[in-house]
Structure 1
Amino acid sequence: MKSLMKMIIGLAFGFWFFILWACKSLLSSDIPVTISAWDTIIFSFSYLVSTVVALIYVRFTQNGKLHIFQSIPTLLWGVSTAQVITHQYHPYDTLMSVIGFIGSGVIMFFSIWKQRHARHGS
């Protein structure tokens, strides 16, 4: 039962970070891109809070394997970041993509690190 609950929570985190990516994509989907500073602040704050909650979950959950569920959102953020850096659409779009990629990458890193650390018994 505990394993099922961890899987549901992992899916919820993965889905939530996918939703945040989709919201960022919707904000930057206009041609020309018009993103306000307020949109960027709201997005950055919500992403920061989501990342902190995910990191707290990784910290206090034994063998949560959140990195498995976070891999697709991290891939989407990575592609989005590479695209905005290559094409230089809008500074706020670039900032939001970089924040998203770094946040997802940090969650992936700490989840993998925690799993390896627990496996080696140190």
Structure 2
Amino acid sequence: MAFSAVNRNSGATALAFRRIMTILGLMTKSPPSPAQLARNERMRTAAIEGAKARADIEARDVAIRKNMERLRALRLAKEAEEAAKPKPAKPVKASARGKKAAPKQTAKLSDFLASQRSTGRTT
């Protein structure tokens, strides 16, 4: 016997609903245990604290964006002010082309060899 899609879906939906209700403690025959009550309280507290944390993060993000806009406006105003000022002319340096360094005096090989011979070095 083949089941129709409607029967399968409605059965799955009913099973999911039963599981959710059991988890929440609404379809149990016995009252919830102290451990279940403590778990539910922790979950509720965590949800409240999470909402507060998200609100704090959003407020901080708004403050950061506002500060960024303020700083951007200051930077643009400063750049516009600097662009409006004329740039000072660069001082002209005296050219160093007129002065030439004296060439180094290199020792001649014959002078070097003569000094070596005079000190007693023969090789």
Scaled to the shorter chain, the TM-score interval is under 0.3
After TM superposition, the score normalised by the length of structure 2 is 0.27
Q: Which has the higher contact order (CA 8 A, sep 6+)?
A: 1
Structure 1 or 2, whichever has the larger Rg, is 2
